[in-house]
Amino acid sequence: MMKISLPYGKEKLTADLDESILNGVLVSQIENYDPQKSQIDIVKEALLNPVDSPGLRELAKGKKKVVIIASDHTRPVPSKIIMPLMLAEIRAGNPNAEITILIATGFHRLTTKEEMIQKFGEAIVEKEKIVVHDSGDADSLVKIGTLPSGGELIINQLAEEADLLVSEGFIEPHFFAGFSGGRKSVLPGIASRVTVLANHCGEFIAHPKARTGCIEGNPLHTDMLYAARAAKLAFVVNVVINSEKDVIHAMAGDCGSAHAKGCEFLKSLCRVKAVPSDIVITSNGGYPLDQNIYQAVKGMTAAEAAVKLGGVIIMLAKSNDGHGGDSFFKTFKDEKNIEVMSERFEKTPRNETIPDQWEAQILARILLKAKVIYISAAPAAMIREFQMTPAKDLAEALSEAREYLNNDQARITVIPDGVAVIVE
Give tens-digit pLDDT for 122-159: 999 999 999 999 999 999 999 999 999 899 999 999 99
Which phi and psi (to 5°) does residue 134 adopt?
Answer: -120, 105
Distances (CA, A) of 158 to 101, 164, 191, 197: 10, 11, 11, 21
- Three-class DSSP category at 423: strand
Whole-structure pTM value: 0.86
Residue type, 398: L
pLDDT in tens, the chain (424 residues): 899 999 999 999 998 999 999 999 999 999 899 999 999 999 999 999 999 999 999 999 999 999 999 999 888 899 999 999 999 999 999 999 999 999 999 888 899 999 999 999 999 999 999 999 999 999 999 999 999 989 999 999 999 999 999 999 999 999 999 999 999 999 999 999 999 999 999 999 999 999 999 999 999 999 999 999 999 999 999 999 998 889 999 999 999 999 999 999 999 999 999 999 999 999 999 998 899 999 999 999 999 999 999 999 999 999 999 999 899 999 999 999 999 999 999 999 988 998 889 999 999 999 999 999 999 999 999 999 999 999 999 999 999 999 999 999 999 999 999 999 999 9
DSSP string of 347-402, one letter each residue: HS-GGGPPTTHHHHHHHHHHHHH-EEEEESSS-HHHHHHTT-EEESSHHHHHHHHH
Note whether 347 and 263 are same-domain residues.
no
CB-based contacts of 401, cutoff 8 Å, min separation 6? 279, 312, 314, 371, 373, 410
The total domain count for the chain is: 2
| Residue 135, pLDDT score | 94
- Rounded to whole angstroms, how far apart are CA atoms 240 and 46? 12
Which one is catalytic: 73, 133, 174, 221? 174
**Which helix (H) or strand (E) covers residue 14, if one does?**
strand 11-17
**Last residue of a domain, which of 205, 240, 269?**
269
The parent domain of residue 111 ranges over 32-269
Note whether 347 and 297 are same-domain residues.
yes
Note whether 17 and 37 are same-domain residues.
no
**Last residue of a domain, which of 269, 284, 309?**
269
Note whether 252 and 304 are same-domain residues.
no
Which CATH number goes with the domain that contains 361?
A: 3.90.226.30
**Last residue of a domain, which of 269, 303, 328?**
269
Give tens-digit pLDDT for 14-51: 989 999 999 999 999 998 999 999 999 999 999 999 99
Residue 207: active-site member: no
Note whether 297 and 396 are same-domain residues.
yes
DSSP string of 89-105, one letter each residue: HHHHH-TT-EEEEEEE-
- Three-class DSSP category at 308: strand
DSSP string of 227-251, one letter each residue: HHHHTTEEEEEEEEE-TT--EEEEE
**Plot region of 150 (φ>0 → left; ψ -120 to 50 → alpha; else → beta):** left
Q: How many CB atoms lie within 10 A of CB 256?
A: 17
Note whether 232 and 315 are same-domain residues.
no
Tell me the torsion sign for CA atoms 322, 323, 325, 327: negative
| Residue 230, pLDDT score | 98
**% helix, strand, coil for the chain, step of 5:** 40, 25, 35
DSSP string of 141-187, one letter each residue: EEEEEE-TTS-EEEEEHHHHH-SEEEEEEE--EETTTEE-SGGGGTT
Of residues 127, 205, 151, 140, the one with CA closest to residue 363: 205
Cβ proximity of 79 and 168 under 8 Å: yes
| Residue 1, pLDDT score | 84
- Three-class DSSP category at 204: helix
Note whether 218 and 287 are same-domain residues.
no
Note whether 13 and 107 are same-domain residues.
no
- Rounded to whole angstroms, how far apart are CA atoms 290 and 40? 27
Cβ proximity of 51 and 234 under 8 Å: no
Q: Is 43 buried (19+), middle (13-18) or exposed (0-12) by CB count in 10 A? A: buried
Cβ proximity of 321 and 382 under 8 Å: no
Note whether 344 and 215 are same-domain residues.
no
Note whether 263 and 412 are same-domain residues.
no
Note whether 265 and 277 are same-domain residues.
no
Note whether 227 and 251 are same-domain residues.
yes
Which CATH number goes with the domain that contains 150?
A: 3.40.50.11440
| Residue 289, pLDDT score | 87
- Three-class DSSP category at 191: strand
